[in-house]
Amino acid sequence: MEHASPSTPRCCAKDEEEEEDDDDDDDPPDTSSDDDCLGDVFGDLAALPVEVSERRPTCLRCRRPEKVCLCPFLPAQPLDVSTCLYIVQHPAEESRVLRTVPLLAACLPPGKCNVIIGRRFNEAKNPELAKVCRDSRTLILYPGPNSQNLEELVQLPEEGDKTHNIILIDGTWSQAKNIFLKNSMLQLPQQVQLNRSLSSQYVIRTQPTNICLSTLECAAVALSILECNDIFQEVLLRPLKALCTFQLEHGAQVHHSKEHLLKNGMYDKTMPKNKRKIKRLEKLVTDRNCLLK
């Protein structure tokens, strides 16, 4: 967005005042005819009919347009899970057409997939999220040096039959990083990460590396671990596979990860001038596990 220089309006106002001082004895110019002309133009524009675009009917369960409904690929009944998911979603994700969180929510019982939208969160504005973050049963899925392997964590004796809450951040990697670092309450729960070697099946959206997963994929793997049932992962990924298959059959292209493009000399975008950004891109090539350290 372009912003006018703060000095511009002041300079203009000063010049007008000086002209008024010099021409005190002159009569003001007659602009009535110009105003009438402008009024006619805007009146004609206002009289033009407004085309109201009709929104396509949307399926109430999968939140997809009815013509491309994915309900046949959802479980007949919501999965019986004890884990509660809390999706902290960047506002930009809400307007994306090909979102995975509505598909995730459609597979789970009411109250088991809670979406909180925003960039900044605090005790006063988000008391429920603050309470969840202080709960000792809560985990946050976010890779880093303080993260513990989720599969190893659930095997600890003290975890026992504990029912967990798990927080996932939904957004691009840079958005997720900003949300995590700039909200102290999100740093209260135990950090966990997924150490399984998986490749994303969300091939219609570009990922930073080959091992980066979509929010739905992360939730599917996490739930299968916490609920000790690998079938959950298969069931939750079914609508995602159907979504990608449909899009590819209707003109979408497979999106390789940035890591893949860089390694194979296929990255056709202009390289950034910022040295830190260049180092990040180089890291994708030299260290495929950089996000898990």
**Dihedral angle over CA of 153, 159, 164, 170, nearest 10:** -10
How much is the pLDDT for 25?
Answer: 46
Contact criterion met (CB below 8 Å) for 247 and 98 = yes
How much is the pLDDT for 252?
Answer: 74
Nearest to 73 by CA among 65, 62, 63: 62
How much is the pLDDT for 266?
Answer: 59
How much is the pLDDT for 289?
Answer: 45
pTM over cut 0.75: no
How much is the pLDDT for 291?
Answer: 41
Where the chain has pLDDT below 50, the residues are: 1-26, 52-53, 284-285, 287-293
How much is the pLDDT for 118?
Answer: 96
